């Protein structure tokens, strides 16, 4: 947790120390577009890595760019990303219990659980009971 807080604070300081960055990047639509661009660069780096054309460090750098833009969006929307991720993990554990994935056929198990979630309203139940 300390590492995430440190990373978040470093990105916040980076942004706050650059007023023109705030002016140019505080628009949610623009920030989302920049994130999309970084995700595209990450996908390209992964493809090139698979062909032995870039080192693993390139993937790390692109992942860092994606994370920085995600952190910027968290700052824009005042989202506690740690809490959101932990809640999403809890929901996914509820939605896709390990016991449903023991037959070795992940795709069939996933689709079966997805149907259960849609028809049983599990998401509503989860959030109603964990609010």
Domain definitions of the chain by residue range: 2-79, 86-129
How much is the pLDDT for 96? 77
Give the pLDDT band of residue 67 (cuts 50, 70, 90): very high
What pLDDT is recorded for position 120? 52
pLDDT in tens, 8-52: 889 888 888 887 776 666 788 888 999 999 999 999 999 999 999
In this structure, what token pair is assigned to residue 85?
């991720």
CB-facing half-sphere around the CA of 44: CA atoms within 13 A: 8
Say what the pLDDT of residue 57 is: 97
Residues 6+ apart with CB under 8 A from 61: 45
Q: Provide the residue count of the chain.
A: 131
**Looking at residue 17, what is its pLDDT?**
86
User: Do residues 68 and 35 lie in contact, with contact meaning Cβ atoms separated by under 8 Å?
Assistant: no
DSSP state of 4: H
Look at the domain 2-79 and name its fold: Helix Hairpins (1.10.287)
Residue 65's pLDDT band (cuts 50, 70, 90) = very high
How big is the chain by its Cα radius of gyration, in Å?
19
Answering whether pTM is above 0.85, one says no
How many Å apart are CA 88 and CA 82, to the nearest integer?
10
pLDDT digits (tens, 9 = 90+) for 69-118: 999 899 889 999 989 999 888 888 887 778 877 777 777 777 777 666 65
């Amino acid at each position: 947790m300390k590492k995430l807080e440190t990373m978040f604070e470093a990105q916040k300081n980076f942004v706050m120390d650059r007023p023109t960055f705030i002016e140019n990047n505080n628009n949610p639509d623009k920030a989302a577009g920049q994130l999309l661009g970084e995700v595209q660069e990450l996908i390209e780096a992964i493809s090139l890595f698979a062909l032995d054309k870039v080192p693993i460090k390139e993937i790390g750098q692109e992942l860092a760019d994606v994370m920085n833009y995600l952190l910027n969006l968290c700052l824009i929307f005042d989202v506690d990303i740690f809490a959101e991720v932990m809640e999403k993990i809890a929901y996914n554990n509820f939605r896709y219990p390990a016991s449903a994935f023991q037959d070795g056929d992940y795709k069939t198990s996933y689709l079966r659980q997805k149907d259960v979630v849609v028809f049983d309203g599990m998401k509503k139940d989860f959030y109603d009971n964990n609010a």
